[in-house]
Amino acid sequence: MQDLFGRSWAGRRVVVVGLGRSGTAAAELLVLAGALVKATEVQQTDAVRTAAAALSARGVDVETGRHTPKFLDGVDAMVVSPGVPEHAEPLEWALEKGLPVLSEIELAFAFCPSPVVAVTGTNGKSTVVTLIAHLLQRAGRTAVACGNLGVPFASVVPQLTPQTIAVVEVSSFQLLRCEQFRPRIGALLNLGTNHLDRHQDRAAYLAAKARLFQRQTPKDWAVLNALDPAVAALGERLRAQRIWFGDNRSNPAGFRLAARTQEALPLSAQAALQVARILGVADPAAWQAIRSYRSLEHRQEHVATVRGVRFINDSKSTTPESLLFAFHQTRGEVVIIAGGRDKGLDFGPMVDELHDGRVKGVVLIGESRKRFRALFNGSSVVRESPTLDDAVHTAASLAGPGTTVLFSPACASFDMFRDFEDRGRAFKAIIQKLSEGAR
């Protein structure tokens, strides 16, 4: 079976590193392409064992609980999952052997028959991806939301056609291993600071994001946030046709955003509107779809109102920027629950902004809570909680009617939970019990 670049994968020996959702999907796509597939995973969880058994039944040679150098013997190429760090041993072995290393996104793109809209940025990617897909579907187009939001790109490729539009969320990790990836439309929402536990520094992180546009030509499109100085600076160097949101800058007539539009629509919706315009969706249809859109689970999700206090689940928040993004989207007085696994990010600017009159309290959880507390200089409105359940009840005691309790951790979840989804559902379960007790 040949890919879009004329390469045959039949009989090609490929090893997949990592058996999360993306790695498993990549292995399955390679099997469909006729490759001889191996997969290696250092963990041995129930989920890994289930994935390994399913792949073994399809003829994939799987090792779990370790990575061994001999497993790479005779291999022609490697596909790496986004969760595998750059310093992982299999990547070092591949470098020594001179093996080509691809991300799951790069592999999926090689077999994708559809036009690709790719979205990246520090915050709001999943919301924009699902909004674009929703908008296109409401306009009568066939569109699929996939990628880093939990539905691997590789898993949907077998169902795609030239008439489908693949709307793909792309992370900085996935872009690191992309050389041929060329979306027809690439959208860059914002550039904060994230994943400094995985990237050498901010410059390396920005360089990874910029790879979204590296293969684009003047026939392609770049949708860019004009209000983000780093995005604006990058945009001036791109070869693709530039379309801006947030401010019009050099937008041609058909893409200018009226002052009313800029005032009425958040930046995420402006980005989706500009993508829709590129794809030929009329503004009235786009506006109607935007109004009908409902937010994703764990992304500024309204859970319940209990005794006049609104509880918002923003468990997807894993950076200071994402907490501030959610805070600025929240009206009125706020009590914030934050904390978790420290990724080495700079919390200082975030803490400075949270010295805001609207913040009636901050409740800290997880490994990072001591570091957070020190930054607040012993403020009397800051509390520490050993568990999420205790944090919710503490936050509720600090909040009054009309106040919002915003659960936006600004940290990774792995100190207390399996992932951000597990963390968010735990929060919602606590609120459910709180609500039942208030009846």
Report pLDDT for 328: 82
Of 99, 115, 142, which closes a domain? 99
Question: How many separate domains does the chain show?
Answer: 3
Alpha-carbon Rg for the chain in angstroms: 23
Is residue 152 located within the same domain as residue 58?
no
Mean pLDDT on 408-416? 92
Residue 6 pLDDT level (bands cut at 50, 70, 90): very high
Please say if the pLDDT value at position 169 is more than 90.
yes
- For 226-274, the pLDDT digits (tens) are 999 999 999 999 999 999 999 999 999 999 999 999 988 889 999 999 9
The answer to whether residues 158 and 305 belong to one domain is no
**Which pLDDT does position 193 carry in this prediction?**
61
**Are 110 and 245 in the same domain?**
yes
Domain-located, residue 5: no
Residue 197: predicted pLDDT: 52
Interior CA angle at 168 toward 167 and 172, to 5°? 155
Task: Return the CATH number at 193.
Answer: 3.40.1190.10
Highest mean pLDDT among 28-37, 351-360, 413-422: 28-37
Dihedral pair phi/psi, residue 261, rounded to 5°: -65, -45
Q: Which helix (H) or strand (E) holds 176?
A: helix 172-176
- Look at residue 8 and tell me if it is in a domain: no
Quick: pLDDT tens for 178-190: 999 999 999 999 9
Q: Is 3 among the domain residues?
A: no
Does 1 map to a domain? no
Asked if the structure places residue 6 within a domain, the reply is no
138 or 202, which is more confident?
Answer: 138
Of 8-22, 23-37, 107-121, 361-375, which gets the smallest average pLDDT? 361-375
Answer with the one of 251, 266, 292 that is the final residue of a domain: 292
Whether residues 218 and 283 fall in one domain: yes
Burial class (CB in 10 A: 0-12, 13-18, 19+), 273: buried
Whether residue 237 is found in the same domain as residue 147: yes
Bigger pLDDT: 78 vs 201? 78
For residue 194, pLDDT over 80 is answered with no
User: Is the pLDDT at 343 greater than 90, yes or no?
Assistant: no
Please report the pLDDT score of residue 439 as a whole number.
Answer: 62
Q: Please indicate, yes or no, if residue 148 is contained in any of the structural domains.
A: yes
Q: Say whether both 233 and 307 belong to one domain.
A: no
Domain that holds residue 132: 106-292
Question: Which of 79, 99, 119 represents a domain boundary (last residue)?
Answer: 99
Instruction: Give the lowest-confidence range in 117-121, 169-173, 220-224, 299-303.
Output: 299-303
Of 80 and 344, the one with more pLDDT: 80
pLDDT band, residue 201 (cuts 50/70/90): low
Say if 351 falls within a structural domain.
Answer: yes
- Give 292-334 pLDDT, tens digit per residue: 887 778 888 889 999 999 999 999 998 888 899 889 878 899 9
The burial of 201, by beta-carbon neighbours within 10 Å (0-12 exposed, 13-18 middle, 19 or more buried), is given as exposed
Beta bridge partners of 118: 168, 186
Average pLDDT over residues 142-150: 94
Report whether pLDDT(22) > 60: yes
Regarding whether 263 and 121 lie in a shared domain, the answer is yes
Do 23 and 76 reside in the same domain of the chain? yes
Give the tokens for residue 374. Answer: 């020190």
238 and 125 in one domain? Answer: yes
3-class secondary structure, 62: strand
Residues 43 and 18: beta-carbon distance below 8 Å:
no
> Is 75 part of a structural domain of the chain?
yes
Q: What average pLDDT score do residues 77-103 get?
A: 92
Q: Does pLDDT of 92 surpass 80?
A: yes
Using the predicted structure, report yes or no on whether residue 199 has a pLDDT greater than 60. no
Q: Domain check: are 133 and 255 in the same one?
A: yes
**pLDDT value, residue 349:** 84
**Confidence category of residue 152, pLDDT binned at 50, 70, 90:** very high
Q: How far apart are CA 267 and CA 232, in angstroms?
A: 14
Do 129 and 269 fall within a single domain? Answer: yes
Q: Give me the chain's average pLDDT, please.
A: 92
pLDDT at 38 over 80: yes
- CATH number for the domain spanning 396: value is 3.90.190.20
Distance between CA 317 and CA 329 in Å, rounded? Answer: 13
Region label for 275, one of left (φ > 0), alpha (ψ between -120 and 50) or beta (otherwise): alpha
Q: Let me know whether 279 and 309 are in one domain.
A: no
**Average pLDDT estimate for 121-144:** 93
CATH number at residue 67: 3.40.50.720
- What beta strand segments (E) does 47-115 contain? 61-64, 77-80, 101-103
Q: What is residue 237's predicted lDDT score, i.e. its pLDDT?
A: 93
